[in-house]
Structure 1
Amino acid sequence: MFHKPKIVIIGGGTGLPVILRGLRDQNVDVTAIVTVADDGGSSGILRNYINVVPPGDIRNALVALSELPTIEKEIFQYRFNSKDNFFAGHALGNLIISALAEMKGNIFDAVQELSDLMRINGHIYPVANEPLTLNAEFTDGSKLVGESEITAAHKQIQRVWVTDSDDPEAPMAVKQVIDAIMDADQIVLGPGSLFTSILPNLMISNVGEAVKKTKAEVVYICNIMTQKGETDHFTDADHVRVLNRHLGEPFIDTVLVNIQPVPKDYINFQEWNEISQPVTHDFAGLREQGCRVISANFLRLRDNGAFHDRDKVVRELLNRLHDVHAD
């Protein structure tokens, strides 16, 4: 019997659904492990109102892997523009996820129920059953609590960690998340915000330990652009150093690096105001981290912004699967 390769993608934000959409129709078994530390926008408001796990990243992952007709996915993604004090700015899918979480008693079971209803080709696992709070210490020694506060500070981050505001014990991921990581053929990190989308997942102790222990190849998709206040002036090697430092050992096996230059006059920095400059390259530094480097043109220019070309990235991930199995 043919064994479908198991790919686990860990992250959040806008990068995660891009890769999920590319993998949905491939002959692979995809699991998305999604951050639950978001506290901005509609997700943050719902989190504060009813203490639910922030649903925004989960909603986007559901749509990315759903095989429902387009109109049904568009309804799920619809964001109210009403003047109503409560509904304005909320995505309908966020309200549905929050309602199901209340009905089921936890977010994990709610997402599994919704996965069946939305005909998900794969699996979507919230990384924890409770909303987590992101904490950061900056290089000047100051500290802040909350993803949106940390991002808005525009200060250089030294380290991040997560806490559960309702439980003094260290947060833990559910068993299904750990099993998926340990059973995977490939673990993919990113693309996404280093400190606010990727690391919040890895800072859950049993997730970090599983990623270090798994026999799967761990692939990091390095960002194309640096982010204001998070990764200003970072090289690709700096991104990997931060990941390895947070987990206490080198655990990144392979890094995908875009080497196609971003045209200087193309980016609209007013519209894409969270980004800074293209990530610079330090291949010697990457080699020092002990990882394989795959450098290629992964760039897609659209809407005066610089993004990963989904099809090229997915093709490279599948190539890595083939090469690892061939070895």
Structure 2
Amino acid sequence: MLRKPKVVVIGGGTGLPVVLSGLRDRNVDITAVVTVADDGGSSGVIRNYINVVPPGDIRNAMVALSGMQSLELDVFQYRFKSSDQFFAGHAIGNLIISALTEMKGNVFDAVQELSRLMQVNGRIYPVANEPLVLNAEFSDGTVMSGESEITAAHQVIKRVWVTTEDHHEPMAVPEVIEAIEAADQIVIGPGSLFTSILPNLMIKNVQAAIKRSQAEVVYICNIMTQKGETDQFTDADHVRVLNDHLGYQFVDTVLVNSEPVPADYINFKAWNEISAPVKHDFQGLRAQNCRVISANFLRLRDNGAFHNQTMIVEELIHRLQGVR
């Protein structure tokens, strides 16, 4: 029997589930590696009150890979209204993940147990078994801690790194390292460059595992720039930041959208985190020794610009041809 190609998807935020749900029913062995540095919204409140790994990105990854019926998933994703003061803004899934973390004693075991209950097709690994703190140095030399505070500062980010809350060296769980080393393809993004993607890559044993891995590293470049993170960035700037943070040119292939975003379509009030379409710099990409795949990866919906899940996944599967 031919083995399934092993795909590791690294990220967080809203971009990760797009890739995961598209791969779920394809003939691939999926591992999702999810950031644990989020400190905003429901995840941040839960993190502060009961000192668990922020559950929101894990919850969305679970829904993306789950084989449960839509009603059960809708209940898991249900977020209490703001008028429900005690539970205001919390998603039921966040509370379940937090409760299981207390029951099991750690988030990794909690997620594995819940993955079985939710019929997850693949594996979901929090990148670390404890909450991580994201730190940033801005171009003016100032330093700030906290994912939501860094984004809200709207300054030019020079570099980011992660620490644990008690300031020891962050380490990824062994299962994450084993998955990366065994992967045929490592997919990074789409997602917030500094606050969803890099927190995973700033863990030293993750960096070492990627360097040892023989897998093709595919970066799915964002379609729009993000306020407070990547204002004015080209696609080459995104790749440069990734390579600079790891200290070598590790991105093998980059997927960039070639379809123009209609200037009058985007509702920037509704989608207030984005600022403008990412500009192309193919010369800058080639200078970083990465293969560039430029195609119409755009999906317009709800007056916003998103990745076309079908086109992205088809390209990822195409790149796996011959891997058995």
TM-score in same-fold range (> 0.5): yes
Q: Measure the CA separation in 1 of the matches of 2:260 and 2:194.
A: 24
Q: CA deviation at 1:213?
A: 1.8
- CA–CA distance in structure 2, aligned partners of residues 86 and 196 of structure 1: 28
State whether structure 2 residue 107 is matched by structure 1 residue 107. Answer: yes
Secondary structure of residue in 2 paired with 1:129: coil
Q: Which amino acid aligns with 1:158?
A: K
Shift of 1:84: 3.5
> In structure 2, how many angstroms separate the alpha carbons of the residues matched to 1:257 and 1:82?
38
Unpaired segments ≥5 residues, structure 1:
none
- Equivalent residue, structure 1, for 2:67: 67
Is 1:149 the counterpart of 2:132? The answer is no
Q: Which amino acid aligns with 2:60?
A: N
Q: Are 1:48 and 2:48 an aligned pair? A: yes
Aligned equivalent of 2:191: 192
Are residues 1:248 and 2:211 paired? Answer: no
- Indicate the SS of the match to 1:135: strand
Q: State how 1:20-39 maps to structure 2 within 5 Å.
A: 20-39=20-39
1:114 counterpart SS class: helix
Q: 1:86: how far off?
A: 2.5
Residue identity opposite 1:196 in structure 2: T
Partner residue, 2:308: 309
How is 1:139-178 mapped onto 2 (pairs within 5 angstroms)? 139-166=139-166, 168-178=167-177
1:50 & 1:86 partners in 2: Cα distance? Answer: 15
2:40 is aligned with 1:17: no
CA distance in 1, matches of 2:176, 2:63: 20
The secondary structure found in structure 1 opposite 2:299 is strand
Give the match for residue 217 of structure 1: 216
When normalised by structure 2's length, the TM-score is 0.99
Q: Distance in 2 between matches of 1:45 and 1:86?
A: 12
Instruction: Give the TM-score taking structure 1 as reference length.
Output: 0.98
Instruction: Name the residue aligned to 1:280.
Output: 279
CA distance in 2, matches of 1:199, 1:66: 26
Structure 1 segments, 4+ long, off by >3 Å, are: none
Distance in 2, Cα, partners of 1:82 & 1:67: 30
Deviation at 1:209, TM superposition (A): 1.4
Q: How does 1:253-268 map to 2 (within 5 A)?
A: 253-268=252-267
Deviations 1:56-84 (A, max 9, x none): 00000000000000000000000011534
Partner of 1:2: 2
Gaps of 5+ in 2: none
Q: Which amino acid aligns with 2:16?
A: L
1:31-78 Cα shifts (integer Å, max 9, x gaps): 100000000000000000000000000000000000000000000000
SS of the equivalent of 2:321 reads helix
- SS of corresponding position for 1:16: helix
Aligned residues: 324
CA distance in 2 between partners of 1:243 and 1:156 (Å):
15
In structure 2, distance between residues paired with 1:119 and 1:214: 29
Larger deviation: 206-215 or 33-42? 206-215
Provide, for residues 175-219 of structure 1, a one-character-per-residue CA deviation record: whole Å limited to 9, x for no partner: 000000000000000000000000000001101111122100000
Q: 1:82 to 1:273 in 2, by over 3 A?
A: closer
